[in-house]
């Protein structure tokens, strides 16, 4: 059996004002991948191609070993997909929806569904139209989780939720990973969520994948160096450093390919290194997007 839950290779999709270019992505079973990127970067398009809701112009897409979109029917039995635009029947209860899913999917786990009801603070006899936004999101996820799919694909599962609801959902997602045969792909605007629960991070901007790798390696490559630069000393341009912001005698260097000899390289140039700091995914996100914007501007100005 294929070890990859998701495999994209050379995937392209053109719209009038947006292009997804040469997307390559691999998600091994037993891992959670967080998909991040600014608004309009191509996260949802990528997810929709995976789910065969949109068909790629070119490229290979495999989900649990099935070629998409051709074999989507076979793939979808084992894939749980949730996004913001999923509609439940307003006039029906959550319990009705649960029975409906149970009648379709053999894999439905009624005991787990009951447990999720309790953990999410939901009641089966509630009608959908009476639910708050957060309750609706949790109800949708309950209906997907209780099928125990091999692959969960979640488009912005925590957007618009209060901290408690977010926490409940992250908890369930990490619980899923107790089974090392299952995999999760989720997109999020919340870098903290992604940093906490992802094994792999994929960073998309303007229809391109900027980075896709294991989270610890990714975070480890980035550092912020706080420097004191005496008068008359010029800060050298060093490899692995993508930006320097200077203010008076202080400077902050941002490295995206940090090596342990970088601080001494600055020291040798006459600057003093006050601190070498790890960066949060949020800070990396901003630095990365700013850099890619600057590169595009520089290129366009040529």
The token pair at 233 is 């000393």
Q: Minimum Å distance from CB 205 to another protein?
A: 23
Stretch 263-292: interaction string toward another protein, x if CB under 8 A? ---------x-x---x--------------
Torsion of CA 198, 20, 50, 35, to 10 degrees: 10
Identify residues 10-49 at the interface with another protein (CB under 8 A): 30-32
Torsion of CA 145, 37, 257, 5, to 10 degrees: 30
Q: Pairing mode, if any, of strands 223-228 and 79-82?
A: unpaired
Paired residues of 80 in beta bridges: 152
For residue 63, CA distances in Å to 71, 125, 225 come to 9, 35, 41
In terms of phi and psi (left: phi > 0; alpha: psi -120 to 50; beta: otherwise), the region of 243 is beta
Q: How many CA atoms lie within 13 A of 115 on its CB side?
A: 8
Cα 137 to Cα 82: distance, rounded to the nearest angstrom: 9
Looking at beta carbons only, is 52 or 141 nearer to another protein? Answer: 141
Q: Minimum Å distance from CB 128 to another protein?
A: 28
- 229 is a contact residue toward another protein (CB under 8 A): no
Q: Minimum Å distance from CB 278 to another protein?
A: 8
Tokens 């006459």 belong to residue: 270
- Count of residues interacting with another protein (CB under 8 A): 23
Applying CB under 8 A, among 70, 162, 180, 267 the residue interacting with another protein is: 180
Beta-carbon contacts of residue 302 (< 8 Å; ≥ 6 apart): none
Sheet holding 241-247, edge to edge: 241-247, 250-255, 223-228, 272-278
Looking at beta carbons only, is 114 or 278 nearer to another protein? Answer: 278
End-to-end CA distance of the chain: 49
CA angle 62, 65, 71 (to 5 degrees): 70
Question: Of the ranges 63-71, 130-138, 167-175, 236-244, which one interacts with another protein (CB under 8 A)?
Answer: 167-175
Q: Minimum Å distance from CB 185 to another protein?
A: 13
Looking at beta carbons only, is 88 or 120 nearer to another protein? Answer: 120
Q: Minimum Å distance from CB 176 to another protein?
A: 9
- 174 is a contact residue toward another protein (CB under 8 A): yes
Residues 251, 244: contact at Cβ < 8 Å? yes
Looking at beta carbons only, is 34 or 42 nearer to another protein? Answer: 34
Stretch 183-222: interaction string toward another protein, x if CB under 8 A? ------------xxxxxx-------------xxx--x---
- 177 is a contact residue toward another protein (CB under 8 A): yes
Q: Minimum Å distance from CB 4 to another protein?
A: 17
Looking at beta carbons only, is 159 or 196 nearer to another protein? Answer: 196
Applying CB under 8 A, among 129, 133, 171, 245 the residue interacting with another protein is: 171
Looking at beta carbons only, is 70 or 180 nearer to another protein? Answer: 180
Length of the chain measured in residues: 302
The footprint of another protein (CB under 8 A) covers: 30-32, 170-171, 174-175, 177-178, 180, 195-200, 214-216, 219, 272, 274, 278
């Amino acid at each position: 059996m294929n070890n990859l839950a998701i495999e994209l290779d050379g995937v392209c999709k053109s719209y009038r004002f947006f292009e997804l270019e040469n997307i390559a992505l691999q998600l091994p079973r037993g891992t959670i991948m967080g998909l991040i990127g600014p608004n309009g970067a191509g996260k949802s398009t990528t997810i929709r191609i995976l789910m065969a809701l949109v068909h790629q112009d070119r490229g290979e897409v495999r989900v649990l070993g099935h070629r998409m979109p051709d074999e989507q029917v076979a793939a979808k039995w084992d894939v749980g997909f949730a996004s913001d635009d999923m509609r439940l029947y307003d006039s029906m209860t959550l319990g009705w929806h649960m029975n409906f899913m149970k009648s379709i999917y053999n894999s439905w786990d009624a005991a787990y569904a009951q447990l999720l009801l309790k953990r999410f603070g939901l009641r089966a006899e509630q009608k959908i139209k009476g639910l708050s936004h957060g309750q609706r999101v949790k109800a949708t996820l309950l209906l997907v989780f209780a099928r125990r799919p091999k692959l969960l694909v979640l488009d912005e599962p925590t957007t618009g939720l209060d901290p408690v609801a977010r926490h409940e959902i992250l908890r369930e997602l990490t619980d899923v990973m107790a089974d090392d045969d299952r995999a999760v792909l989720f997109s999020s605007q919340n870098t903290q969520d992604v940093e906490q629960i992802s094994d792999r991070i994929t960073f998309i901007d303007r229809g391109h994948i900027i980075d896709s790798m294991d989270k610890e390696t990714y975070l480890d490559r980035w550092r912020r160096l706080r420097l004191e630069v005496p008068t008359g000393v010029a800060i050298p341009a060093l490899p692995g450093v993508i930006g320097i912001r200077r203010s008076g005698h202080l400077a902050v260097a941002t490295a995206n390919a940090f090596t342990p000899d970088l601080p001494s390289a600055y020291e040798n140039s006459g600057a003093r290194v006050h601190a070498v700091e790890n960066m949060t995914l949020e800070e990396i996100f901003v630095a990365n997007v700013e850099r890619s914007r600057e590169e595009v501007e520089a290129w366009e100005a040529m």
